[in-house]
A and B are shown apart, each in its own frame.
Chain A
Amino acid sequence: MKTLDLGLNRLSTRKTAVLGVLMALQLILSRFSLSPTPMFRLSFTFVATVLMAIWVGPLWASAASALTDIIGTLMMGTPYFVGFTISAMLGAFIYGVFLYEQKPSVWRIIASQILVALIVNLVLNTLWLTLMYQTPFWALLPARGLKELISTPIQIIIVYIILKNSTVRNLGNRL
């Protein structure tokens, strides 16, 4: 049996286990956020997603992220909406396309983060909120844009530090 139709080739047991544990980390990190000021929160889920993308590629990373999104929202009691699953998949996919089997250069990190911030967090997620709760799109956009403007540079720096870290690089070689 081949799974080549979707390009999701068979994973080694080791990669399966690593992906499972990273999904656990996504769930944990999504509950933990930094808030230097009351109105601004920064969660670190993206770090687990980036590592998934780097270690197993865009397709498996987006499948795993989709599943984490479904199970995470259902468990935490926040309303489930398919749009956010699509966002989670697309985010992981973008990271994978830019960072999988590539040297983690500064420009790749910056480009992937900006794309995810613009397409996924800003436009798509705002659109989903609009569809789901009828919150006016253009009223919501500025507030969310401001948040992305602050968090994107911080995310770029964090991803850069983590990808340049020699321990994390060695882990990737062990896969």
Chain B
Amino acid sequence: MDKFIFGRYIPGDSWVHRMDPRSKMLLSFFFIFMIFFANNLLSYGLVFVVLFLAIMMARVSVGFLLKGLKPLLWLMVFTVLIQVFFGAGGEVYWSWWTLQITHDGLISAAFILLRFLAIIMMSTILTLTTKPLQIADGVESLLKPLKVIHFPVETLALMLSLALRFVPTLMDEAQKIMDAQRARGVDFGSGGIKQQVKTVVPLLIPLFMNAFNRAEDIATAMDARGYRDGKNRTKYRELIWQRRDTISSLIFVLSGIILFLIRN
């Protein structure tokens, strides 16, 4: 659990850092949507031009972007290898039993690799340039249209702020419980599967216990401060849509249109 980082935000002061979280989120979703439609060399080229632009404007280091690839590495290798060995069509370069490497197979494998890189890197840029609290505000703001169907957006937004506030606290608590159990001789992360599961339950139950107690205290304090429900309240943190958001959106929409024109 030591490797845990809460969010992967890296402080900075670039163009992308100062953008509205809502526009950043919408644009990265739009980018993933764009990739779904890219299907030839030219359109993938355009996708990477946009990605490169975003990397430049965010001023994040390539090392951090590459680290983002790690969790999906096995899926990436697996998918690309299957495309390489089972892809059909075009000139056959090599074949053995059902395995064969063909011209078209190699090309589609290359496209899939590019697709992976683009999707993951754009998501990593969003994470690296936006604080968790900003992301939460953005999500809340983007969910607001759901109020039309009486979806309790305010209550859920409150839960989200509580959750973000309590992640570090509960993390510390988990660490303390682990240390306390270690001091009594529990050996975490060793032995067989049965042994490991057995050590986890004495960790989970006190953790839930503590979390529950904290929630009760918070609820009492909130009631005492005049909380009734999520509705009819004002906001202290407001998001402001700036000119840089409009400009970035225009660039993305424009490249989206171009992509539709140049795809097969």
- The interface residues of chain B lying within 8 Å CB-to-CB of A51 are 208
- The interface residues of chain B lying within 8 Å CB-to-CB of A132 are 119
- The interface residues of chain B lying within 8 Å CB-to-CB of A2 are 150
A17 interface neighbour in B6, B68, B126, B222, Cβ under 8 Å: B222
Docked CA distance A143–B92 (Å): 29
Secondary structure of the A contact surface, majority rule: helix
A17 and B162 in contact, given A44-B200, A79-B32, A171-B208 (Cβ under 8 angstroms): yes
Docked CA distance A4–B124 (Å): 38
What range describes how many residues of B lie at the interface? 35 or more
A32 and B216 in contact, given A1-B231, A135-B78, A139-B82 (Cβ under 8 angstroms): no
Residue contact A8 to B152, C-beta cutoff 8 Å: yes
- The interface residues of chain A lying within 8 Å CB-to-CB of B163 are 20-21, 23-24, 26-27, 68, 71
- Which chain A residues (50-90) contact chain B, with CB distance < 8 Å? 51, 63-64, 67-68, 70-71, 73-81
Q: Count the A-B residue pairs with Cβ separation under 8 angstroms: how many? A: 208
- The interface residues of chain B lying within 8 Å CB-to-CB of A161 are 201
- Which chain B residues (148-191) contact chain A, with CB distance < 8 Å? 149-152, 155-156, 158-167, 170-171, 174, 189
Docked CA distance A80–B35 (Å): 13
Residue contact A21 to B7, C-beta cutoff 8 Å: no
| B25 proximal to A (CB < 8 A) | yes
- The interface residues of chain A lying within 8 Å CB-to-CB of B79 are 133-136
- Residue of A5, A17, A18, A139 with most partner-chain B CB within 10 A: A17
Stretch at the interface among A102-110, A112-120, A162-170: A162-170
Residue contact A16 to B216, C-beta cutoff 8 Å: no
Stretch at the interface among B132-140, B236-244, B248-256: B132-140
Residue contact A135 to B75, C-beta cutoff 8 Å: yes
| B247 proximal to A (CB < 8 A) | no
Docked CA distance A132–B36 (Å): 8
Docked CA distance A35–B67 (Å): 21
